Structure 1
Amino acid sequence: MVFIISRAIYLLSVLSAISVISCGGGKKVPDSLPPESRIESAQEIKEFNSRLITQSSGAPASPADYLIGPADLLEVKVFESEKLTSTVRVSSRGQITLPLLGSVDVNALTAREAEEKIENLLKSDGYINNPHVGVFVKEHKSKLVSVVGFVREPGSYELLGRQTLLDSLAAAKGLKDNAGRTVYLTRAEGNGRREAYVVDLDELLLKGNSEINVVLKPGDVVYVPETGTVFVEGAVRKPGSFPMKERSTTVTHSIAMAGGLTTYANGGDVKLVRHMGNGKREITGLDLEKIQKGEAEDPIVKDGDAVIVGASIAKRFIYGLRLNFLLGLVGVGYDPPERYQQ
């Protein structure tokens, strides 16, 4: 099962992504599992990694399908004239500057389509009667996904074609023995929103629910936390994944580890999301004020739980929270108040 959270978080690099969604303050998850449990966990991860190989697409995408985008480095060869050959970086607007032609828009073109466009421009402008152009992508900067956390080979990987969450985990050589059973995927949308997908690996790999095998987009960050963590999102100061202790860490403790509430948080609108097995998740509404007054229970969190804190209208911010149940996705999303600041 997957649930989706939207939030305006801006990741400047893979390192900042780790600081946003990894365990806060560099804290290490306590090794409280008995030896036999750690052995069982390692065996389960071995099974997960085996299924990764069989369930991922396996076949590498063809570079010919790659769509050129901003920050890519291109080598443009004009075989009839060495002077017209150049190495250029694609601008933020998807354009390159070439001798004689000036600015040429190559955004979202394949290398072959860019070749044809440049050939037509050279011919129509009367520079070369029958030009032959080669375009080679030397650096695929615009189509990268980052895989971080407890995987065997974390790093940035080129997104050359249609690839999924499982493909990214397979590219990172699978999970480490102490990896958790939940994967977080964060994505920046063009409208300023931020989406966070929380994917249950048991449901995806062991039960084969392909509907939650999210198709990746450029800029996605896939984070695999260590086992024994709780995920805190929404109107908190340091959203992310934090270590928890079995039978002792509560919802309020989890929010405290995330730096506490923001100035626009709505303590009466807190959601505790828990995987219940069989592809189901339980979503419990909580009121922090009632918990603090002793009028309501402060639930103990479990490994893989998610705590989502809502926000209120404040400082002329507009806020909306919604729950959607569509196509096997449990969605918890909001437009961040920062979008409406005047």
Structure 2
Amino acid sequence: MKIILTFAMVIGSASAQTLVQPVRPVPGANQDYLLGSDDQLKIWALGFEDELKDKTIRVEPSGDIDLPAIGRVKAAGLTTAQLEAELSERMKRVVRQPQVSVEIADYGSQPVSVLGAINQGGIQQLKGRRTLAEVLSSAGGIRPDAGPTIRITREMDMGPIPLSNAVTDPSGRYSTAEVKVADILGARTPAENILIRPHDVIAIAPGDSISVIGAVQKPGPFPMNTRSNVTVLEALAMAGGYGPQPQPQNAKILRLTPGSPDRKEIAVDLRKITAGKSEDVTLRANDILLVPTSMPKRAAVKVGEAALAAAVGFAVWHGF
């Protein structure tokens, strides 16, 4: 009889351990993450399995969650472990030995905007402590056509940005600072890889570009990246060289004129430049190099219009 009772106690203990085993936390969840409004929670509690099964509990704008038999509980500002302890304390009124597990099903309380020359721009959730480099990485990384600087804007409620070049706007509501893309990507200045705060706006302006259209192999826009200038021969190389039936002696640079919607035409003889009989010409940002073609006029017009539209559209968008 003693053996049977002992065996029953062992089985009962094992069953109890299986019953109260907490739900596993979300992989990679930050244990120091402070809950906030719009976070989505999965809560398991012994004695409340049916009431909480398949339910996602949203942290309300007030910071509270509303649970059956317990009522409203303040969740904002607590970690999941702290919320578990608070819920366990509340449940002692109805359960002798409460067992509670809280996991984050989805993040929603710490949005950050990542804009501009980024592969997956939009709203990112911080999910705890994240540096600038980590946020940029989670947004797919910086595009090759990015400009040289990253601008960070922060609400002053979160405190000023801890960088020496940070300035406060005239309204006193925002702090703004810039860091160099190269410094972040190359980890040259660790102090500039600051912690990002909720509601920060990170903007990476696209860099300057030039375009090559007409009788070339790969017409289109080409980012200048960190280069201060590009020559016509370098631009021609970017475009893969000449295409069918080129007229290099009649090439033109189409350059924006300040205060005018029209572009100024600058004649360049690529044939002489290639032969070393004329000096190479430096292009400016947003210049368009046009290499005419000797193909029939109708076909040339169609190709030229399509290439010019693409180049101008790219240049306009890069006025970001």
What TM-score comes out, normalization by structure 1 length? Answer: 0.46
Structure of higher RCO (CA pairs closer than 8 Å, 6+ residues apart): 1
What TM-score comes out, normalization by structure 2 length? Answer: 0.49
